[in-house]
Amino acid sequence: MATSDATPGVDPIAAAIGAVIDPLIANEKVIAAGFAERTRLLAELDRLGHDPRIIAGLCGDPVESGRNDPDTGAHGPAWDDEELARRCMAAEAAGALRLKASTAGIMVFNAVRLTDQLPQFHAALARGSITWGHALKMLDLTDGAPEEILPAFEAKVLPAAEKLTSTQFARVAGRILERMHPVPLQTRADAGFVTRRLVLRPDADGMAWLNAYLKAEDAQAIYDRLSRIATTLDTDERAEASAPGADPTSSGPSGSGTARTKDQRRADAYRDLLLDGVGPAGLGHGIRGTVHLTVPALTLLGRSDEPAILEGYGPIDPETARRIAGTATSWSRILTHPETGCRLSMGREQYTPPADMRRYLDARDRTCQGIGCTRRATLSEIDHTRPWNTGGPTDVDNLVHLCTPCHRLKHQSSFTTNQGPGGTLTWTTPSSRKYTSAPANTDPATYDPATANAPTTYDSTSPTPISPAPSPPQQGSTDTPPPF
């Protein structure tokens, strides 16, 4: 006689699924509480940045930072105490969480908003009655909203957040906020228009996102026009494919034989219009986009599949690299030293790196070497790790790319840097933590400066300036060098 292990009155299917769903719910509460605690800690970090005792410790050496040096004005005014503290705390968080400093700064700012302006939502997050997604939607909704309406608004919409998905909640709360907001919609729309912008975000597999933040009606009209163009392309392609003598393998722009989806046709139209189109009154006429590509010689000759490097993105496939190379209007030869003949050191002869040294540094660093920073090297400044006015040479082992904010952080705060061979840069933060940035053409996870060939290292903490500090001879430039 057959027997069953099922408990009488209990649905075995419901029990099996419940055995997974119940701990899943508990896990989501733990995750929400974790986000709440991280938010509290980031807000506490911001509060430390307002403590006069902490601020005093964040200020760099007066000689090094030039805080009271009029020459510093040539490179922009020094940060005030509040800005310096904000930048330092953002960089500390960036290193700890392995983020870009700008991303960490936004997280700190939002943490303060959530704990101080939206305490009910922070408490709900801590007990797990809402998710982190609900908290983010609430932060987005209340961005720029008058603080005096936030307590009432928060109390009114929290029950909805505890019952609805984050997307559903945002729709409901948005309508409620519209009724409660004391500022007319037209005024807010005018203010929002000022923040329009374009954002490029690299993605995987040789692809990237190009996002435009526009007025809603413009964005909708653009999408509708692209959709109409995509429909026209579909009609044209079908007519071409059905024509007598048509090659059935020639469908699509690359002759792949595969018909393009509407999404693909819409994206292709978007690309073609932006690359080759001309706007009203000839806007864009004669202007062509430019990309910078570093291609290994053997890849260019078709004898290697080593990827090329697209500036501002990273590795791209060899076929695309060769296609782009075929349309190049100019080339700069960059070989691994010593074959290049590039001057790797000017010693104390001149402050400004010569052109071939700059090209070498561009190819080596590729990005700013600040903590978590990814700004392109060609948009950054070249810094003497050991300052020129304390005897630092113009040498590739003492030069590194830093974008303007990272450059200022190094010189105007108590952050210090130490440069090892190969361009690796180790930052020491005010909390005494160390973070190493390796150039993009090395593997940061395995690169060990101690095993590199060159023995020389340079440290930014050398406090004794050369007296008198010489004015370095300039070749081809009349720009006054910075005091670092």
pLDDT tens digit sequence for 256-298: 556 788 899 889 888 888 887 765 555 555 556 667 777 777 7
Instruction: Kindly list the distances between the CA atom of residue 355 and the CA atoms of 85, 291, 477, in Å, as whole numbers in the listed order.
Output: 36, 20, 12
d(Cα 39, Cα 212) in Å, to the nearest integer?
A: 29
pTM equals 0.71
Any idea what the Cα angle at residue 209 is, between residues 204 and 215, rounded to 5°? Answer: 160
Any idea what the Cα angle at residue 408 is, between residues 407 and 410, rounded to 5°? Answer: 70
% the chain with pLDDT above 90: 36
First-to-last C-alpha distance (Å) of the chain: 90
Tell me: the pLDDT tens digits for 207-260? 899 999 988 878 888 888 888 888 887 665 665 655 555 555 544 554 455 678
Tell me: the pLDDT tens digits for 379-392? 899 999 988 888 88
